[in-house]
Structure 1
Amino acid sequence: MGVMLALHLLAAVIWVGGMFFAYVVLRPVAATELEPPVRLRLWRGVFQRFFGWVWASVLLLWGTGLGMVLGVFGSFARVGLHVHLMLGLGLLMTLLFLGLYLSPWRALKRAVDGEQWPEAGAALNRIRGLVAFNLSLGVLLVVIASGGRYLL
């Protein structure tokens, strides 16, 4: 249980913390300090690296989360409401990431590689909106995970 929980928390920190850094710290600086071609190339490189970590985090979160529910607690019926909420929010976050990865991320890569800056900017704006929403869900999930047992 201890190793699974530690890996679970580490994966959550990487994913949610990465979104926080990208959205709250890097985005405002890049938007004001960099010209569009440089900014869009930067984001392509950032996402290229970060999304590999997100995929690893998603797999680890689902593996350890389901492993704890089924292997440690024995079934979904034996866990509290906060765990069910975590599972639901985790599923929504995973689906949003999958949608982001399959559509606007691919569009951003193609547009940046082809130096089609307006299209790249539009794709980046779609990514920004999805990251903002997923970050909000991630922060809510962290609150539920850390205090839900006592709050719900």
Structure 2
Amino acid sequence: MPPYSLVYTLHLLAALIWVGGMFFAWMVLRPATGTLQAPERLTLWLEVFRRFFVWVWIAVVLLPVSGIGLLHMGFSGFDGAPRYVHVMMGLYLAMLALFLRIQALQLPSMRRAVDAQDWPAAGAVMGRIRRLVAFNLLLGVAVVALAAARPSL
């Protein structure tokens, strides 16, 4: 496999894992957990986040590394890249900021509330996480659509 193809494949897989994971969580897992009682539901979500965020961290690192490689191999650097690539990079930064907010601020609060068995507080934090994930999913879908369309912005 030529180097460009390998880097492009890794880049796509990282995006697929991150955006696909959010889609699964929002569209499938969230509704399915609605019938569980708060202790089981919130404990399950903590375990889901623990496992999924390992993969998100891999994507968070792999996307800019592979993206920079693609910039240099495909466009001879940032200046040669079309505007849609610049927009994709900006959307990545916004998605990263939202992910870091969840990871660093919301998730520890939720974990403390679950450990204290304060289910209303844990549920309130989960609601904030759910809204952040929804917005991040919209950004991720926009990035995927932009990459697929490759507009001449």
TM class, shorter-length: over 0.9
Aligned equivalent of 1:21, options 10, 20, 24: 24
Match of 2:141 in 1: 139
* 1:72, distance to aligned residue in structure 2 (A): 4.2
CA displacement, residues 89-115 of structure 1 (integer Å, 9 cap, x when unaligned): 011101111111111111111111221
* Runs of at least 5 residues in structure 2 that lack an aligned partner in the other structure: none
Match of 2:95 in 1: 93
| TM-score, structure 2 normalization | 0.93
State the Cα RMSD in Å: 1.2
CA distance in 1, matches of 2:123, 2:134: 16
Match of 1:106 in 2: 108
Aligned equivalent of 2:120, options 115, 118, 130: 118
The correspondence of residues 1-152 of structure 1 with structure 2, limited to 5 A, is 1-31=4-34, 33-149=35-151, 152=153
Give the length in aligned residue pairs.
150
Off by >6 Å, runs of 4+ in structure 1: none
CA distance in 2, matches of 1:72, 1:83: 11
CA distance in 1, matches of 2:107, 2:11: 26
| Percent identical | 49
* 1:70, distance to aligned residue in structure 2 (A): 3.1
CA displacement, residues 49-72 of structure 1 (integer Å, 9 cap, x when unaligned): 001110001100011001211354
| TM-score, structure 1 normalization | 0.94
CA displacement, residues 19-63 of structure 1 (integer Å, 9 cap, x when unaligned): 0000111101211x1011110011011001001110001100011
